[in-house]
Structure 1
């Protein structure tokens, strides 16, 4: 989810932000009920298109060759199931939309017969292996569309961080790929597979996509099944998809039934009739100057293509990082309660152990408050979206930092340093809190040749509009 490590609660930045949460007037806002995860998405039962025409096994062999040639440096894979992939490719009938397409699956997501390691030693020791008998729902959806699972991509331990060691960024292996779906984004960026699954709790699909120069989609709740996935924070987690380009992402989303087949077709007339909202303060510092300039150019391009750029307000948007972190800490601590109580701290990585220790200091009332603030934020986001078709913003305020630069949990942004949680969640966590569909696509590179990302956010069930905007922008 990209939180990284943080200072102790007492007197630290999270403590100060929690104090600010208590000053938000909530009125009658209660807990958000089902936490929006069961909102009925519009058009959820979409037809899966037909296609095919690929030579059985050909793409899988190319993927395996590419992995063998490049993964010594990138290290995007926790496990490569070459023989299983070849066997599936030989049996794969033609005529389905993803027939023979090799895919990676984040190692939080169950694949029948392959261990789900979660990036953790807890799940790799004797008697603790998780070897599921059935595919997660999202993997079953992939297979039904004809895709071939090549293996499991790396994840930050239990998805509780933003660096995904030991994986490196294919654009510069001295830099992190982001996380926690860093392996999926790195595998796609390195050309090892054209498509990969990830999970996103507070940006875990979008952060590494922006850092690695790929496209990522987090659909509306209910569009992709969430069963068979190790949780980070159950009320925020969603499965997402990573692809090399917006066009590839659109094709995958259509094949998986997330959007209609027509959604991936770029609008011939550009952005005519679309209103794109930019939340107030979006480009405030700290932000890398190249990213700010690139987003300004992107908004100008939308305007040139007939779109209308509208300033919108999310008055308590500043509270999203604190509320999101509080919810993640509390729910993750609950999930790991027995494991932590059993004296297994030695099997947690140092950064995850530190985050669980921090979580143990968060009062129960803070979790309740954060969930109530969440309802306020969702209302403000939906109000902003009521007058526009989409929101646009950077995906990240910075490019991928060097591995050594984030060793202490801080990230260089715009000439200063901020906590990893602030850098990674700043533009991302609101969509999870408000259960909104969102996506990121490449926005060129900065002066160092490092990728930048542009993020789009839509109202619940407006996944077609989101994908259409992404493909339109990419084809401009």
Structure 2
């Protein structure tokens, strides 16, 4: 069932793709398991843009004022720790690169002394509340850089969905913000904070960033620590950053450089000499015409800036959605097995409970097959990246849909309707399956003024090239 609505996920094209997984020729390779999740490449930090220091003491107060003024409608926050944020701001010493920058934290990520609710009744109420004694590693690193934690942002329950109720899209409150890091993206898009933490299993930082018009960065696995983060699917999960644009990209780059050391290789200025690969079939239908046209303009802009745009092949790219959903279902079922066995099933939302029921019916062999297909997809992605510096594609094939339009689990795309899993994972899940750094940034708006997104994907450890491309593209007003 679809995580947002309970609509069947395995009907139609997705069911056919699951069956097609068994027709992919495979070598006798073992399971990739966590696929380098614990092996971050060694390297140096990205250059840290100037930004900390005097003049930032009032940022937290201004953030709290904006939240108080507009979050009654946006509903991006589950908890605002105003007193704690003010106290933190007063203790940050000068000279920290993110001194005084207010940050939101997805309510899947631990902040010491604040409850981690995961968007679920499972972790709320007497005897069930989870109040960690220590910060998650990613939060601790942000604090050391001088950032101030303002509070917890909403998440779809256990990150298992793409809508993040009750949060609304700041560009049109009748529309969804995307998910599962919808609260973090909405908070940044609404101007509450310039930076927020999210998690990304199959696009959960990039999807809401594209829908809400923010930037999203998902570093190479291991660069941002995953401890203290409630899992959705342990072998795919990563922590990411969501930032305002264009100026907020500097904060995101600073945060990435401070808390997630990047490759030390040379990063060319601009796109001169860079080869950018576009996977074959990227702009095939279904896709919103405005999204396709914006992507074509982006590729032309790369050429204007001195880059070369070439078509690349990922032969089994069609299998990414089916393989990704199979892995998510199996790993999420394993994580929640004890809760279900102990009689806590009624505390799950209907959509998550339906997904877990579906996972219960899935044969164990499907998970094994999906992990082996994942190995094939990673090899194909690396082969494509061996001839180019970056991959580029739209982040989403559509703009944020109205909440009432996705009530049946389908998303309007290019004049037709497709399952939410297909729409949301189409361009996004491959980077998780292949353990590649990726990011999204705004690509203008459609005819209704709704944001569109451009996604970049780099080779393992090439986070610096990713950030360089994003900041260059933003700096030229593209």
Q: Pick the TM interval, shorter chain.
A: over 0.9
Secondary structure (helix, strand or coil) at the match of 1:382 reads: helix
**1:286 aligns to 2:286 (yes or no):** yes
Q: Distance in 1 between matches of 2:106 and 2:272?
A: 37
Is residue 2:21 matched to residue 1:21? Answer: yes
The answer for the alignment partner of 2:187 in structure 1 is 187
**What per-residue deviation string (whole Å, max 9, x for no partner) do you get for residues 104-151 of structure 1?**
000000000000000001100211111000000000000000000000
Distance 1:219 1:104 in 2: 18
Aligned residue in 2 for 1:337? 337
Shift of 1:408: 1.0
> Is 1:147 equivalent to 2:147 in the alignment?
yes
Q: Which residue of 1 aligns with 2:257?
A: 254
Give the structure-2-normalised TM-score: 0.95
Deviates more, 1:48-57 or 1:351-360: 48-57
Specify the alignment match of 1:114 in structure 2: 114
Q: Secondary structure at the match of 2:23?
A: coil
Distance change >3 Å, CA 46–CA 298, structure 1 → 2: closer
C-alpha offsets along residues 32-61 of structure 1, whole Å, 9 cap, x if unaligned? Answer: 144221233241666878762234641100
Unaligned stretches of 5+ residues in structure 2: none
- Give the structure 2 partner of residue 295 of structure 1: 295
Cα deviations across residues 250-309 of structure 1 (Å, max 9, x unaligned)?
23322324447999x9x65x3111000000000000000000000000000001111001
**1:151/1:10 Cα in 2 relative to 1: closer, same or farther (>3 Å)?**
closer
Contact 2:75/2:166 (<8 A) preserved: yes
- Please say if residues 275 and 307 of structure 2, whose CA atoms lie closer than 8 Å, have aligned partners that are also in contact: yes
The 5-angstrom pairing of residues 74-473 of structure 1 reads 74-245=74-245, 246-259=249-262, 268=269, 270-473=270-473
Shift in CA distance, 9/280, structure 1 to aligned 2, threshold 3 Å: closer
Work out the CA distance in 2 between the residues paired with 1:459 and 1:411: 31
Greater displacement, 348-357 / 50-59 = 50-59
Distance 1:315 1:391, change over 3 A: same
- 1:374-417: CA deviations, max 9, x gaps? 00000000000000000000000000000101111110000000
1:189 & 1:37 partners in 2: Cα distance? 30
Structure 1 distance, partners of 2:366, 2:228, is 29
Alpha-carbon contact 1:177-1:208 (below 8 Å) kept: yes
Conserved in 1, the CA contact under 8 Å of 2:56 and 2:101? Answer: no
Secondary structure of the structure 2 residue equivalent to 1:22: helix
Question: Cα gap change, 1:448/1:80 in structure 2, threshold over 3 Å: closer, same or farther?
Answer: same
Instruction: Assess if the C-alpha contact under 8 Å between 2:48 and 2:254 holds in 1.
Output: no
TM-aligned CA deviation for residue 361 of structure 1: 1.1
| Alpha-carbon separation, structure 1, partners of 2:342 and 2:59 | 45
The CA deviation at 1:10 is 7.2
Asked whether the equivalents of residues 40 and 223 of structure 2 are also in contact (C-alpha less than 8 Å), the reply is no
Is the 1:119–1:156 contact (alpha carbons within 8 Å) kept by the matching residues of 2?
Answer: yes
Contiguous gaps of at least 5 residues in structure 1? none
Quote the Cα distance in structure 2 between the aligned partners of 1:3 and 1:286: 22
User: Number of paired residues?
Assistant: 472
Cα distance in 2 for partners of 1:257, 1:31 equals 27
Alpha-carbon distance change, 198 to 10 in structure 1, aligned in 2, over 3 angstroms: closer
- For residues 446 and 50 of structure 2, the distance between their equivalents in structure 1, rounded to whole angstroms, comes to 39
In structure 1, distance between residues paired with 2:463 and 2:177: 26
Conserved 8 A contact 1:44-1:223: no
Distance in 2 (alpha carbons) for counterparts of 1:385 and 1:419? 29
Q: Single out whichever of 106-115 and 12-21 deviates more from structure 2.
A: 12-21
By how many angstroms is 1:13 displaced?
Answer: 4.5
Moved more, 42-51 or 274-283: 42-51
Q: Helix, strand or coil: the match of 2:131?
A: coil
What SS does structure 1 have at the residue aligned with 2:387? coil
Cα distance between partner residues in 1 of 2:264 and 2:66? 30
1:44 to 1:320, Cα distance in 2 relative to 1, 3 A: farther
